[in-house]
Structure 1
């Protein structure tokens, strides 16, 4: 069982179980579905989720998936990398009046 979520700090490495949770979140599973798939209670899933969010510096599940992809925790199908790179690359905004 994981330790308290408050002990997780941004930048700490994800455990193997936390990576599993992140990948299943990316697949769109709910906490209940995650629990069934990993043989965990929903409360334990919530603890893992809080730890993942803290370690990735994310505020929600969607942001965790984007950060997870950018950091290489979530493998992508071939040919999808340019799309993801466009999502995480800073956007250049033209100057006003240009």
Structure 2
């Protein structure tokens, strides 16, 4: 088996604080020649002023390869979510025996 063909398992460690995550309701993406940067923020959408207040809660920089893999993983997960949501909305296919 070639070294690139082996199945790898990641054993990642984190703190409870990091595992809890942060809430963001706004994100921006920027890039340079070397990396992409995702900036996640929490903003107050209810403010009707021209300037919307907010706070950056996390910032992540990725290589172009990692960004491509992230996009593929996100597309896969959104597709699975859409399928599950679509199934929830299907009309019942079997008769409802409670009405008899």
TM-score above 0.5: no
Greater relative CO, 1 or 2 (CA 8 Å, sep 6+): 1
TM-score bracket relative to the smaller structure: under 0.3
Decide which structure has greater strand share.
2
Decide which structure has greater helix share.
1
Q: Rg larger in 1 or in 2?
A: 2
TM-score, structure 2 length as denominator? 0.25
TM-score, structure 1 length as denominator? 0.25
